[in-house]
Amino acid sequence: MTTLVIATRNHHKAREIRAVLGDGLRYLTLNDFPGAPTTVEDADTFAGNAAKKADSLARWLAEQPIAREGGALCVLADDSGLEVDALDGAPGVVSARFAALDSAPSANATDIDNTAKLLRLLHGVSTPNRTARFRCVIALATVGQTRPPRLFEGVCEGLILDAARGANGFGYDPVFQPLGYTESFAELGEPVKNRISHRARALAQAARGLEAP
């Protein structure tokens, strides 16, 4: 069985990835490797950050006991965020730390603070001009191989709502309404989101990559 190490400590993200990829893999996360290095996400693109995380973790795992267990060992890293047209593509690669940029540029902000800042900046912007998209780039690396990580991208178009709606999801889900729906991601719930989201679309491609490492 292939072991897939998901390069995150975010249990929401890990659960979402597992739900999309299914039960045919052995899943681990950074929570299973307390000594794993922290990767500074300083690239100016989602692809750059995802590839950097996957490559760094794969190199580290190659020196760990798990690499000698046998079977395929892969790393999956992603970088994703929200691009709002009225804000010239912001928050983009700084989506997770959007509200903390002025006070602590390298630290993530809370979901509530990030969403509040977004809604504040869009105050007065009419609905037709609140177009946005979630973008996700997944990097897949096979431990022990020297080739660069393979990259897979998914995009979900939509609109930014005037106020948060729904109790599910995380991040900007309560204020993002995907194209073709009247509910926010947080109202649609996991079954629907895990079928249409940016991450689901990138994962569908990555799944085929896992079949042919």
Cβ burial, residue 172 (10 Å; 0-12/13-18/19+): buried
- For residue 212, pLDDT over 70 is answered with no
- Taking the whole predicted model, whether its pTM rises above 0.95 is answered as no
Structure tokens at 176: 């993002």
CATH number, domain with residue 77? 3.90.950.10
Q: Are 77 and 7 in contact (CB under 8 A)?
A: yes
Is residue 79 part of the annotated active site? The answer reads yes
Q: Which stretches within 104-159 are classed as H helix?
A: 111-121
The pLDDT of 4-26, averaged and rounded, is 91
pLDDT tens digit sequence for 59-89:
999 999 999 898 889 999 999 999 999 999 9
The fraction of the chain above a pLDDT of 70, given in percent, is: 98
- The reported pLDDT for the residue numbered 156 is 98
Domain containing 110 equals 3-211
Over range 176-180, report the average pLDDT.
97
Query: Is pLDDT at 54 greater than 90 in this prediction?
Result: yes
In 3D space, the residue among 140, 166, 148, 85 whose CA is nearest the CA of residue 118 turns out to be 85
More confident of the two residues 158 and 101:
158
- Cα–Cα nearest to 95, from 108, 86, 85: 108
Domain count, the chain: 1
From the list 78, 79, 111, 173, the catalytic residue is 79
